[in-house]
A and B are shown apart, each in its own frame.
Chain A
Amino acid sequence: MVFSYYPGCTLKNQAKDLDIYARKSAQALGIEIKEIDEWQCCGGVYTSSPDDIAPRLSSIRILAKAKENGGKLVTICSACHNVIKRVNDDMKNNADINLRANNFMQLEERYNGETAVLHYLEMLRDEVGFDNIKKAVKNPINKKIGAYYGCLLLRPNGVMAFDNPENPTIIEEFIKAIGGTPVVYPFRNECCGAYASLKNKPLADKKSSAVLSSAKGHGAEMVITACPLCYYNLKRSGEDLPVIYFTELLAKALGVDGDE
């Protein structure tokens, strides 16, 4: 299986672990994820205003490149995934945005939303299969683990179609596949405070510590996430519960987390 892969800015810097362990795990599972060359920023956040065309262009460049290379694009960072998938939906279903973006970009071939955008977790579930991951596990993670979904993977559900936005199960299934015990807690799809941690720290801290204390209260020994911003907010909230990227745990379970 070969997929185009878009890491995004943070996975090349502060969230290197999220990227490195994803690559190692993919290799162990017999999947080839090929980084798109000369990629740029995804746009960071999606803009719901249909007159804001410029912030969508960088996502379209990524999508058009993936279209040339097999048409399946894998993302890991929740924010990149959210932006790219929603822009893709615009290009498919919003004629005005499609026209204006294509006229501006002058690509060799007009882009009309042909690329399929998959999150790494969706790739594990739909293309590899959690049963096959279970078979490949060498070191089962024998811990009580809380899945932290946050917002960006789930909402808006109409476009993201990731899982049930009010009662998701995909990360719990993932935890079971790597030998852990999922802990279901009420704040797993609550906001961590997002970008408010730059301008209104107390608000972000309140939101993040509510998430971790909810997980802890329900018996979680650690929380896993796919988002570098959630990771940062949760880590600095002052609660003493380990927060780990899901790919790191996957690599550990597959026995490929060493420096070989």
Chain B
Amino acid sequence: MNNDMQLKSLIEMSATDVRKCMKCGKCSGRCPAFKEMDIKPHQFVTLLGQGKVEKLLASKAIWNCLSCLACVERCPRGVAPANVIEAVRTTVARMQGGDGITAEEIPAEVNEMIPQQLLVSAFRKYKK
């Protein structure tokens, strides 16, 4: 897929209008995983607006975003940074070899404590 097609796809999958962003940074200020994000939530929005596809797809932050939607709730302009992150994560996970987790990574200690919900959620988020 060429750069323009990839960009169009990311914009459609994000389903949020990044042009509304006024760069206030509230989303990143509220992000519980802020320190673990190489690209911060507000930067995801900016980079998509600028069409920086390569940079977005190389992000490691997609594996640390917790999908808590705090960024979405705080945005005074109705932009959904979490949707952009999800669009990038889904795109990367759909690529060959792009999975963020493999079955081998399930800890050997899968014990009575680990809820099914955790395994299902993690694999739905990290692997396609």
* B-binding residues in A (CB < 8 A): 8-10, 13-15, 41, 43-45, 47-52, 55, 77, 79, 151, 154-157, 165-166, 190-191, 193-200, 203, 207, 228-229, 231-232, 235-236
Given the known A-B contacts A9-B120, A14-B113, A44-B117, are A207 and B32 also in contact in the complex, defined by CB atoms under 8 Å? yes
| A14 CB to nearest B CB, Å | 5
Chain B residues within 8 Å of A190, by CB: 32, 68, 70
The A-contacting residues of B in range 58-90, CB under 8 angstroms, are 63-64, 66-70, 72-73, 80, 82-83, 86-87, 90
Q: In the complex, how many angstroms separate the beta carbon of B63 from the nearest chain A beta carbon?
A: 7
Known: A196-B33, A236-B113. 4 other contacts (CB 8 A): A49-B15, A51-B12, A190-B68, A193-B66
Among A14, A47, A195, find the residue whose CB has the most chain B CB atoms closer than 10 A.
Answer: A195
A229-B117 in contact given A166-B73, A198-B101 (Cβ < 8 Å): yes
User: B118 an interface residue at 8 Å Cβ cutoff?
Assistant: yes
Asked if B36 CB lies within 8 Å of chain A CBs, one says yes
Q: Decide if B104 is an interface residue (CB 8 Å cutoff).
A: no
Task: Decide if the interface of chain B is mainly helix, strand, loop or mixed.
Answer: helix
CB <8 Å contact, A194 and B116: no
Chain A positions within 8 Å of B107 at CB level: 198
Hey, what's the 0/1 contact readout for B33-70 against A, CB within 8 Å counting as 1? 10010000000000000000000000000011011111
Asked whether B97 is an interface residue with its Cβ less than 8 Å from the other chain, the reply is no
Interface residues on B, range: 35 or more
Most A CB within 10 A of own CB, among B14, B32, B82, B112:
B32
Do residues A13 and B124 form an inter-chain contact, with CB atoms below 8 A? no
Cα distance A48–B69 in the bound complex, in angstroms: 11
25 pairs across A/B with beta carbons < 8 Å? A14-B113, A41-B120, A44-B123, A47-B124, A48-B87, A49-B15, A49-B86, A55-B124, A79-B117, A79-B121, A151-B67, A155-B70, A156-B80, A191-B66, A191-B70, A193-B66, A194-B66, A194-B121, A195-B121, A195-B125, A196-B33, A197-B118, A198-B118, A199-B100, A200-B36
Closest partner residue, chain B, to A157 (CB atom): B73
Partner of A199, one of B13, B112, B116, B122: B122
**A203 touching B126 in the complex, CB below 8 Å, given contacts A48-B82, A194-B66, A232-B113:** no
Complex CA–CA separation, A55 to B80 (angstroms): 20
Q: Does B114 count as interface, using CB distance less than 8 angstroms?
A: yes
**Contact in complex: B115, A232 (CB < 8 Å):** yes
- B119 an interface residue at 8 Å Cβ cutoff? yes
List 7 tightest A-B contacts by C-beta distance, closest first: A44-B120, A191-B68, A155-B69, A195-B121, A151-B68, A198-B122, A195-B122
Q: Which residues of A contact B72 (CB under 8 A)?
A: 155-156
Inter-chain contacts of B95 with A (CB < 8 A)? none
Contact among A10, A155, A156, A166 with B117 in the assembled complex (CB-CB below 8 Å): A10
Choose from B15, B68, B87 the contact partner of A194 (Cβ within 8 Å): B68
A43-B124, A198-B101 known; A50 vs B118 contact (CB < 8 Å):
no
Q: Does B108 contact A (CB under 8 A)?
A: no
